[in-house]
Structure 1
Amino acid sequence: MTEETEATGETVGTDAPGEDYDYSESFPLLLHRLGISLAVTTYQAGRLYIVSSNGEEIKLAGRNYSRAMGCYVHPKGLLLATRNQVLSFTRAPHLLQRFYPETDYDDLYVSQFAYFTGDIAVHDVGLMGDTVVAVSSTFNGLVAMSTDYSFIPIWKPHFISALCSEDRCHLNGVAFVDGSPRYVTAIASTDQEGAWREHKTDGGIVMDVATNQVICRGLAMPHSPRVYEEDLWVLSSGTGELGVVNSLGFQPMIYLPGFLRGLAFYGPYAFVGLSKIREKKIFGDLPIEEKVNDLRCSVEVVNIHTGLWEGSLRFHKEVEELYDIQIIPNSRQPLVVGYDQVEDFQMLFDLPRKR
């Protein structure tokens, strides 16, 4: 790992982790056929990876960010949560011909600005109109980014009695519906700092933001709620299960051999992040560890229409934990430009185009 820059928390370097990854033969074929790439974050290794394919091989391009967490790809750009900032990148494919004429890049994301939040443990991020909304585990709720303040609190669970810098329930995930945050996940419905740790095996909840009510209980460290094809999908991380939440509770669809975190959909496919468990004090003694001796760190592809496994990208050694996965649609080889790369960002300029 290279030295971290003081201002941005980004480190210089774009190399993927050498040969410390492999993939099923189906994985590059699937990405290429769908015409997509993936944005994958790992806070443990401090990277944002862009995973792309030429149809035969997978290419990993990494940008190093301190504690890269939630990521959100939208039509105009990309958001990325880091240790003390939420970064905004703007799509600028019109610059490719000028600055990268001899490459195969087909999309470009340029660093635009950053919200400096302080270390509030931002997890998932998203957009509500033009407002950036994030989950702050430290402040137990949803917060909006601001140009005037560190952040603006906009919602907290009914059982949290005060707005304070204490991780009381470990709120972590948010699902957006029609451009607004609708569902959240938390490790437990507790109201004392760190109390959620005593309930990690069966205290997990899913809440409806609109009603501020718990709609599902009894999960093992749930993460990554997502609404897709009118279903509310949730990862029961501690049991290694992907499933849906409905009137019957949590309905598992498939079991995968890892601590689940990071979920994205495209067509009939779910892209699921799996992690090993390094922090035994926090994440140890979970049901998934009783099922599997050797947890994997990977991106697994599941066909949600058939329930069948379709492919895998597996990390080894350097990368042990993933956090988020996002789909970059209509792009087989996108480029994300970082802050400190002299060869691109420092010499890349985007001006208003003449009408």
Structure 2
Amino acid sequence: MSAARTVAVGGASPYRIEIGPDLLHDGERLAAHARGRHVLLVSDSNVAPLYAAAVAGALRQARPALSVATHVMPAGEAHKTLASFGQVIDALAALGASRDATVYALGGGVVGDLAGFAAACWMRGIDCVQLPTTLLSMVDSSVGGKTAVDIPQGKNLVGAFHPPRAVIADTGALRTLPPRELRAGLAEVVKYGALGDPLFFEWLERERAPLLAGDDRALAEAIARSCGHKAAIVERDPLERGERALLNLGHTFGHAIEAEQGYAGADRDALNHGEAVAVGMVLAARLSAMLGMAPESDTERLRSLLRAYGLPVDVPPGLAPAELLGRMRLDKKNLAGRLRLVLWRGIGKAEVVPDVDEARVLEVLAG
């Protein structure tokens, strides 16, 4: 087997995150997590041509008795829908998937969220192994068991908590990642430093060049440290009833931007998830400074770091602040119809703030 770094996620449903090169070709490692004989490999039209045949072949070689089927969905957030979810359910039915079947989610966050949700629902829950192929999904969506699809009213409003049986992150897959997608993943990496680790934030300031160049050592370190932070928080708060909400720093603003733009893929100019989160983090920092919670200098330091990674830091033109606020009111963290946002006291000191004044949010959204 290939050498891999391991991050353990504890709690009621423990699992391991394995990080290293060439793991998608390691049939023994992949097949070790299939309890039964039925496997559905879910991927998308971008990733499947690169890796699906190799993964399916590696599984069959390691376990010849496996019945492996592949379902390929169209790529892009615009296809993370109930209709696409239904097609994965149909594929499981066609396979005759039993209660000990396993779904392997091969792709980015869209595939991971949708395939994980289908696994959560088929026969009230079967195993899912996450095989993230983007940096964003390696450090965020594949870890923690949050699965969902989007509806026109908002992002991730229909879903379930369903921890994976394992996460296998092949860093070699990042070599085929478009530069824009690598930068989007780095936004989520920055998030971990911003919300709870100022030393990691400083490391990201120093390591910008190797990370943007796709250096294996730097990326593996960034992934392991990010996953370590998320694993620790998820273990303490698996159902997002407290501390885990901190992982949504920038996301309430970012999801509103994504929903208002119709999600990247439907419009080439729309921000993707990582880009929207980058803007959202800056908006959260600006609001924190406006409310007297944090120094403006930390907002500027965050803006500078995100811009150094080639990420946007301002609300895209043409989006009405009132419409964005309307989207934010649908956020799952809100209580009793009042905005509940993740803000900060400065770099590394995020907190959940209830009952945020909507007038101040509108000021920030208006720039």
> TM-score per shorter chain, which class?
under 0.3
Q: TM-score, normalised by structure 2?
A: 0.25
More strand by percentage:
1
More helix by percentage:
2
Higher relative contact order (CA 8 A, sep 6+): 1
